């Protein structure tokens, strides 16, 4: 899972240039009325936190929990 910032022009989502040509797949779109100065950064951190939790929650990496 990857969280990126994109724009919505009222009809379609416009991806940043580095995402053009990415492998097709499912996409989750979130819309919200956030205060850009304070809450936008928190939202992106939360999205990344959830993505990292899925990656790190496995038996192979559980050995590091015991250190």
pLDDT-derived band at 60, boundaries 50, 70, 90 = confident
Most confident of 17-21, 35-39, 43-47: 17-21
Query: End-to-end distance of the chain based on CA atoms, in angstroms?
Result: 27
At CA 11, angle to CA 2 and CA 29, rounded to 5? 25
User: Would you state the pLDDT for residue 35?
Assistant: 62
Q: How far is CA 67 from CA 22, 29, 51, 53, 64, in A?
A: 37, 37, 23, 18, 5
**Residue 27's pLDDT is what?**
82
- Rounded mean pLDDT of 25-31? 79
């Amino acid at each position: 899972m990857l969280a990126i910032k994109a724009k919505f022009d009222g009809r379609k989502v416009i991806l940043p240039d580095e995402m053009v040509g990415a492998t097709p797949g499912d996409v989750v779109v979130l819309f919200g009325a956030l205060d850009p100065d304070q809450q936008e950064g928190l939202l992106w951190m939360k999205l990344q936190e959830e993505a990292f939790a899925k990656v790190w929650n496995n038996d192979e990496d559980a050995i590091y929990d015991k250190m």
